[in-house]
Amino acid sequence: MKNLASYIDHTILKPETTESQIRQLCKEALENRFFSVCVNTSFVPLCKELLKGSSVKVCAVVGFPLGAMSTPAKAFETKWAVENGADEIDMVIQIGALKSYQYDYVRTDIQKVVEAAQGRTVKVIIETSLLNHDEKIMACQLSKDAKAHFVKTSTGFNGGGATVEDVQLMKSVVGDALQVKASGGVRDQATAEAMIRAGATRLGTSSGVQLVKNQTATSGY
Protein backbone atom coordinates (compact mmCIF):
# COMPACT_ATOMS: atom_id res chain seq x y z
CA MET A 1 0.00 0.00 0.00
CA LYS A 2 1.30 3.45 -0.89
CA ASN A 3 2.22 6.03 1.71
CA LEU A 4 -0.74 6.70 3.99
CA ALA A 5 0.12 10.41 4.10
CA SER A 6 -1.30 10.86 0.61
CA TYR A 7 -4.74 9.75 1.85
CA ILE A 8 -4.90 11.94 4.94
CA ASP A 9 -6.92 15.08 5.58
CA HIS A 10 -5.08 16.20 8.76
CA THR A 11 -7.93 17.38 10.93
CA ILE A 12 -8.66 19.62 13.89
CA LEU A 13 -12.28 20.71 14.35
CA LYS A 14 -12.86 21.02 18.09
CA PRO A 15 -14.57 24.23 19.22
CA GLU A 16 -11.71 25.10 21.57
CA THR A 17 -9.07 24.98 18.82
CA THR A 18 -6.51 27.79 19.15
CA GLU A 19 -4.39 29.58 16.57
CA SER A 20 -1.26 27.90 17.89
CA GLN A 21 -2.87 24.49 17.33
CA ILE A 22 -3.71 25.46 13.76
CA ARG A 23 -0.11 26.52 13.21
CA GLN A 24 1.05 23.15 14.55
CA LEU A 25 -1.45 21.33 12.33
CA CYS A 26 -0.09 23.04 9.23
CA LYS A 27 3.51 22.41 10.30
CA GLU A 28 2.77 18.70 10.68
CA ALA A 29 0.97 18.62 7.34
CA LEU A 30 3.98 20.13 5.61
CA GLU A 31 6.45 17.82 7.36
CA ASN A 32 4.44 14.68 6.57
CA ARG A 33 3.11 15.75 3.16
CA PHE A 34 -0.50 15.07 4.03
CA PHE A 35 -3.10 15.63 1.33
CA SER A 36 -4.77 18.47 3.21
CA VAL A 37 -5.57 20.11 6.50
CA CYS A 38 -9.25 20.10 7.45
CA VAL A 39 -10.44 23.03 9.59
CA ASN A 40 -13.40 25.21 10.46
CA THR A 41 -13.88 28.07 8.04
CA SER A 42 -12.57 30.85 10.30
CA PHE A 43 -9.11 29.27 10.08
CA VAL A 44 -9.02 29.01 6.28
CA PRO A 45 -7.12 32.28 5.64
CA LEU A 46 -4.42 31.42 8.18
CA CYS A 47 -4.00 27.89 6.78
CA LYS A 48 -3.79 29.21 3.23
CA GLU A 49 -1.01 31.58 4.28
CA LEU A 50 0.90 28.94 6.24
CA LEU A 51 0.68 26.39 3.41
CA LYS A 52 1.43 28.80 0.56
CA GLY A 53 3.70 27.30 -2.06
CA SER A 54 3.17 23.73 -0.87
CA SER A 55 1.09 20.87 -2.27
CA VAL A 56 -0.99 20.62 0.93
CA LYS A 57 -4.57 21.67 0.31
CA VAL A 58 -6.94 23.52 2.63
CA CYS A 59 -10.22 21.73 3.34
CA ALA A 60 -13.02 23.61 5.14
CA VAL A 61 -16.07 22.14 6.85
CA VAL A 62 -19.44 23.75 6.14
CA GLY A 63 -22.67 23.48 8.14
CA PHE A 64 -20.61 21.66 10.71
CA PRO A 65 -21.26 19.58 12.74
CA LEU A 66 -25.07 19.48 12.72
CA GLY A 67 -25.99 20.12 9.09
CA ALA A 68 -29.24 21.78 10.17
CA MET A 69 -28.33 25.27 8.97
CA SER A 70 -30.33 26.79 6.11
CA THR A 71 -29.21 26.09 2.56
CA PRO A 72 -28.40 29.78 1.90
CA ALA A 73 -26.24 29.82 5.04
CA LYS A 74 -24.29 26.77 3.85
CA ALA A 75 -23.87 28.26 0.39
CA PHE A 76 -22.66 31.56 1.85
CA GLU A 77 -20.18 29.81 4.14
CA THR A 78 -18.90 27.81 1.18
CA LYS A 79 -18.50 30.92 -0.98
CA TRP A 80 -16.64 32.72 1.81
CA ALA A 81 -14.35 29.73 2.39
CA VAL A 82 -13.50 29.46 -1.31
CA GLU A 83 -12.85 33.19 -1.62
CA ASN A 84 -10.48 32.96 1.34
CA GLY A 85 -8.47 30.00 0.09
CA ALA A 86 -10.34 26.73 0.62
CA ASP A 87 -9.51 24.08 -1.97
CA GLU A 88 -12.10 21.57 -0.75
CA ILE A 89 -15.39 21.68 1.15
CA ASP A 90 -16.76 19.03 3.53
CA MET A 91 -20.46 19.75 4.10
CA VAL A 92 -22.95 18.09 6.44
CA ILE A 93 -26.33 17.07 5.02
CA GLN A 94 -29.63 18.07 6.63
CA ILE A 95 -30.07 14.77 8.44
CA GLY A 96 -33.59 15.46 9.70
CA ALA A 97 -34.75 16.30 6.18
CA LEU A 98 -33.36 13.00 4.92
CA LYS A 99 -35.16 11.12 7.68
CA SER A 100 -38.37 13.00 6.83
CA TYR A 101 -38.15 11.82 3.19
CA GLN A 102 -37.55 15.40 2.01
CA TYR A 103 -35.23 14.22 -0.71
CA ASP A 104 -35.59 17.26 -2.97
CA TYR A 105 -34.52 19.45 -0.06
CA VAL A 106 -31.45 17.34 0.66
CA ARG A 107 -30.47 17.19 -3.01
CA THR A 108 -30.85 20.95 -3.44
CA ASP A 109 -28.94 21.60 -0.20
CA ILE A 110 -25.97 19.71 -1.63
CA GLN A 111 -26.32 21.23 -5.09
CA LYS A 112 -26.17 24.79 -3.75
CA VAL A 113 -22.94 24.02 -1.92
CA VAL A 114 -21.49 22.39 -5.04
CA GLU A 115 -22.39 25.51 -7.03
CA ALA A 116 -20.91 27.83 -4.40
CA ALA A 117 -17.70 25.79 -4.37
CA GLN A 118 -17.07 26.86 -7.98
CA GLY A 119 -15.51 23.62 -9.13
CA ARG A 120 -13.71 22.77 -5.91
CA THR A 121 -14.05 19.27 -4.50
CA VAL A 122 -17.15 18.85 -2.32
CA LYS A 123 -17.44 15.98 0.16
CA VAL A 124 -20.86 15.23 1.61
CA ILE A 125 -20.88 14.09 5.24
CA ILE A 126 -23.87 11.78 5.64
CA GLU A 127 -23.31 10.96 9.38
CA THR A 128 -23.69 7.19 9.11
CA SER A 129 -24.10 6.65 12.86
CA LEU A 130 -27.47 8.43 12.72
CA LEU A 131 -28.80 6.64 9.61
CA ASN A 132 -30.28 3.23 8.92
CA HIS A 133 -29.25 1.11 5.94
CA ASP A 134 -31.77 2.55 3.50
CA GLU A 135 -31.05 6.13 4.59
CA LYS A 136 -27.33 5.61 3.96
CA ILE A 137 -28.10 4.41 0.45
CA MET A 138 -30.40 7.35 -0.21
CA ALA A 139 -27.88 9.88 1.13
CA CYS A 140 -25.24 8.51 -1.23
CA GLN A 141 -27.63 8.54 -4.17
CA LEU A 142 -28.68 12.13 -3.49
CA SER A 143 -25.02 13.16 -3.24
CA LYS A 144 -24.41 11.50 -6.58
CA ASP A 145 -27.44 13.23 -8.13
CA ALA A 146 -26.22 16.59 -6.80
CA LYS A 147 -22.83 16.18 -8.52
CA ALA A 148 -20.74 16.12 -5.36
CA HIS A 149 -17.30 14.53 -5.54
CA PHE A 150 -17.17 12.44 -2.36
CA VAL A 151 -19.43 10.94 0.26
CA LYS A 152 -17.98 10.99 3.76
CA THR A 153 -18.96 8.80 6.69
CA SER A 154 -18.96 11.04 9.73
CA THR A 155 -18.30 14.32 11.49
CA GLY A 156 -16.82 12.51 14.47
CA PHE A 157 -19.05 14.63 16.74
CA ASN A 158 -22.15 12.44 16.94
CA GLY A 159 -21.02 9.34 18.76
CA GLY A 160 -20.00 7.17 15.84
CA GLY A 161 -17.30 7.01 13.24
CA ALA A 162 -16.36 5.16 10.10
CA THR A 163 -16.85 1.41 9.77
CA VAL A 164 -15.60 -0.90 7.06
CA GLU A 165 -19.17 -1.99 6.39
CA ASP A 166 -20.36 1.58 5.84
CA VAL A 167 -17.46 2.39 3.53
CA GLN A 168 -18.20 -0.72 1.48
CA LEU A 169 -21.90 0.15 1.29
CA MET A 170 -21.22 3.74 0.29
CA LYS A 171 -18.77 2.66 -2.39
CA SER A 172 -21.26 0.14 -3.75
CA VAL A 173 -23.81 2.94 -4.21
CA VAL A 174 -21.59 5.63 -5.73
CA GLY A 175 -19.37 3.32 -7.79
CA ASP A 176 -16.80 5.24 -9.79
CA ALA A 177 -18.92 8.40 -9.94
CA LEU A 178 -17.86 9.58 -6.46
CA GLN A 179 -15.10 8.78 -4.02
CA VAL A 180 -15.47 7.83 -0.35
CA LYS A 181 -13.87 9.48 2.68
CA ALA A 182 -13.68 7.55 5.93
CA SER A 183 -13.67 9.80 8.98
CA GLY A 184 -14.14 9.30 12.69
CA GLY A 185 -12.17 6.74 14.68
CA VAL A 186 -9.36 6.23 12.14
CA ARG A 187 -6.57 6.23 14.70
CA ASP A 188 -4.27 3.31 13.84
CA GLN A 189 -2.62 1.83 10.78
CA ALA A 190 -4.74 -1.34 10.71
CA THR A 191 -7.99 0.68 10.70
CA ALA A 192 -6.67 3.07 8.05
CA GLU A 193 -5.63 0.26 5.75
CA ALA A 194 -8.94 -1.57 6.27
CA MET A 195 -10.84 1.57 5.22
CA ILE A 196 -8.72 1.90 2.10
CA ARG A 197 -9.26 -1.74 1.17
CA ALA A 198 -13.01 -1.19 1.64
CA GLY A 199 -12.97 1.61 -0.92
CA ALA A 200 -11.95 4.83 0.85
CA THR A 201 -9.62 7.11 -1.08
CA ARG A 202 -9.37 9.72 1.66
CA LEU A 203 -9.07 9.47 5.45
CA GLY A 204 -10.10 12.19 7.88
CA THR A 205 -8.13 11.88 11.09
CA SER A 206 -6.43 13.85 13.83
CA SER A 207 -4.00 10.95 14.28
CA GLY A 208 -2.20 11.35 10.97
CA VAL A 209 1.26 11.93 12.42
CA GLN A 210 1.13 8.70 14.42
CA LEU A 211 -0.29 6.76 11.46
CA VAL A 212 2.57 7.84 9.22
CA LYS A 213 5.17 7.13 11.90
CA ASN A 214 3.77 3.64 12.37
CA GLN A 215 3.75 2.93 8.65
CA THR A 216 7.31 4.17 8.32
CA ALA A 217 8.39 1.90 11.15
CA THR A 218 6.67 -1.18 9.75
CA SER A 219 7.18 -0.78 6.01
CA GLY A 220 10.34 1.24 5.60
CA TYR A 221 8.77 4.26 3.86
| Active-site residue identified among 136, 152, 166, 171 | 152
User: What type of residue is 65?
Assistant: P
User: What type of residue is 69?
Assistant: M
How far apart CA 167 and CA 183 sit, in angstroms, is 10
Backbone angles phi, psi at 59, to 5 degrees: -110, 130
Is 176 known to be catalytic?
A: no
What are the helix (H) ranges across 39-94? 44-50, 71-83
| Active-site residue identified among 87, 90, 109, 166 | 90
Residue from 102, 162, 100 nearest 126 by CA: 162
How far apart CA 14 and CA 144 sit, in angstroms, is 29
Is 90 known to be catalytic?
A: yes
DSSP codes of every residue in 30-53: HHHT-SEEEEEGGGHHHHHHHTTT
Which residues are known to be catalytic? 90, 152, 181
